[in-house]
Amino acid sequence: MLRKKGFRGGVHPPEWKHLSENKAIQELPLPEKVIIPLQQHIGAPAETIVEKGDTVKKGQTIAKAEKFVSIPSHASISGTITAIEKRPHPLGTNLLSIVIEGDEKDEWIETVKHNTNYMDLSIEEMKKAIQESGIAGMGGAAFPTHVKLSPPPEKPIDVVILNGVECEPFLTSDHRLMLENPDEILDGLMIIMKILGVKRGIIGIEKNKPDAIRLMRTKCEKLNNISVLPLAVKYPQGAEKQLIKAAVNREVPSGGLPMDVGCLVHNVGTAVSIYEAVSSNKPLIERIVTVTGPGIKSPNNLKVRIGTPFQNLIDFCGGLKDDAGKIINGGPMMGISQVTSDVPVIKGTSGILVLDKKRSNLKLEQPCIGCARCVDICPMKLIPSSIAACAEHDKLEKAVSMGLFDCIECGSCSFICPSKRNLIQYIKLGKAVWNDLQRNAG
């Protein structure tokens, strides 16, 4: 019997995992062109080092990170640079991007080659390989991985948690990765543990993935310092702070980071990319993406080159159904609706969700009835209705004092609200406006 772990609050949205959880990962055919945004991560954007007309090889650096909290960008196909201009971005704006037309050779740069003795590399050599490979958190947050692996000396880490929870409805890319690439996940975890000098590793997996739990446990049988932890199925179990609470019963303080309680959390996909970077000098140029939903003809899990237009993935999965109503980057709880299918897959694109028209229609927002359901389920112990009301009516200082920036934007409050209040949208808007005010004031 699987042991359950959990956290306070949370909700139980319909899972919809059945559409793609049994679909083995397929490699998407090589795209004719890719669009590589210079901003695919939290932090400063990368700065281009190529020009229109240049020819590039797969894996070649095309934009350098000039700041520590930043990552470089790489060509995901070989070909010719045809444009460096602003293009639609899946996070909802137009951002400077590098467009590469492929030459069909798919030729690697010479530096990508496997080193069987990679665990003998020094910690600094490992961190340099990770930094130069352009890895950002692949669970969605997209925080530069080399920064996360560099905690200050006064905040030592004693446990690393790999996030295989994948609690967002519909998405199954991490589930398939655990079933198909368990050894690479464990190798990545061991690299992380060596870099941090940590003796304890935990792999958290929700119990709705019993096959992944069994396989990862089998792989860990001879590893005394790594364990697999089954977790109760509840959203947002995969959120960093909730996962830490469930796994080791530590609470990250308000405004704090996991390192404040001696923890570090990485997505299982990030662990694979870390392994590839350290063992082979392979940059992050591809990822697993779930294409799913009631509006797509053939849901699937695909290995996709970074920069591939969404439309390529949709076409490979049979195209849209007649009643398709909305395309979302990510899942239904935290994803972002798209105005075009020409946006590219980025490092944080875990899924493309296509809803049908029935599930796409927004219900008319009604006044708050003071039921406090959003308070009961908030995993961060906030009062979402009051924070959202303050943000809606420009009372931003009060919203901040009530925990505006402690909100993890999981969307549980909007999901549970009987009045269909757009709580999370007001909170996101409040954060954006407050940040703009602070920048202008500076």
Is the model's pLDDT at 4 over the cut of 60?
Answer: no
Q: Which of 250, 280, 310 lies at the terminal end of a domain, its last residue?
A: 280
Residues 182-204: what's their mean pLDDT?
98
Do 117 and 261 fall into the same domain? yes
Do 414 and 273 fall into the same domain? no
3-class DSSP state of 2: coil
C-alpha distance from residue 392 to each of 44, 103, 334, 365, 430 (Å): 29, 50, 20, 13, 7
- Orientation angle between helical segments 423-441 and 384-392, nearest 10 degrees: 50
Q: What is the 3-state secondary structure (H, E, C) of 384-412?
A: HHHHHHHHHCCCHHHHHHCCHHHCCCCCH
386 belongs to a structural domain: yes
* Residue 199: both structure tokens together: 């003796």
Residues 144-163: what's their mean pLDDT?
96
The model's confidence at residue 3, banded by pLDDT at 50, 70 and 90, is: very low
C-beta of residue 293 within 8 angstroms of C-beta of residue 19: yes
Do 234 and 379 fall into the same domain? no
4 belongs to a structural domain: no
Do 265 and 131 fall into the same domain? yes
The model's confidence at residue 6, banded by pLDDT at 50, 70 and 90, is: low
Do 256 and 389 fall into the same domain? no
- For residue 269, what pLDDT is reported? 97
Which of 297-301, 355-359, 383-387 is predicted with the least confidence, judged by mean pLDDT? 355-359
- For residue 364, what pLDDT is reported? 85
Q: What is the pLDDT of residues 31-53, one digit of tens each?
A: 999 999 999 998 899 999 999 99
Residues 246-261: what's their mean pLDDT?
94
DSSP string, 325-388: EEEEES-TTT-EE-S-TTPBP-TT--EEEEEEHHHHPPPPP-------HHHHH-TT---HHHHH
Which residue type, as a one-letter code, is found at position 138? Answer: M
- For residue 164, what pLDDT is reported? 97
130 belongs to a structural domain: yes
Is the model's pLDDT at 12 over the cut of 90?
Answer: yes
Is the model's pLDDT at 1 over the cut of 50?
Answer: no
Do 143 and 248 fall into the same domain? yes
CA distance 327 to 363: 18
339 belongs to a structural domain: no
* C-alpha triplet 12, 226, 177: angle, nearest 5°: 55
The model's confidence at residue 16, banded by pLDDT at 50, 70 and 90, is: very high
341 belongs to a structural domain: no
CA distance 271 to 253: 26
- How long, in residues, is the chain? 442
CA distance 140 to 328: 14
Determine how many CB atoms are found less than 10 A away from the CB of residue 14: 8
- For residue 442, what pLDDT is reported? 62
**Cross-strand bridge partners of residue 115:** none
- DSSP state, 120? G
Do 272 and 379 fall into the same domain? no
* Residue 362: both structure tokens together: 């927004």
Do 274 and 379 fall into the same domain? no
Do 266 and 160 fall into the same domain? yes
C-beta of residue 112 within 8 angstroms of C-beta of residue 323: no
Do 272 and 390 fall into the same domain? no
Is the model's pLDDT at 7 over the cut of 90?
Answer: no
Name the average pLDDT for the chain.
95
Determine how many CB atoms are found less than 10 A away from the CB of residue 305: 25
Do 379 and 238 fall into the same domain? no
310 belongs to a structural domain: no
C-alpha distance from residue 36 to each of 49, 95, 303, 342 (Å): 13, 10, 17, 12
Q: Which of 245, 280, 315 lies at the terminal end of a domain, its last residue?
A: 280
Q: What is the pLDDT of residues 98-149, one digit of tens each?
A: 999 999 999 999 999 999 999 999 999 999 999 999 999 998 778 999 999 9
Do 271 and 379 fall into the same domain? no
78 belongs to a structural domain: no
Q: What percent of the chain has pLDDT over 70?
A: 98
What is the pTM assigned to this prediction?
0.95
Q: What are phi and psi of 408, to 5 degrees?
A: -95, 5
Domain count, the chain: 2
- Structural domain of 408: 373-441
- For residue 343, what pLDDT is reported? 97
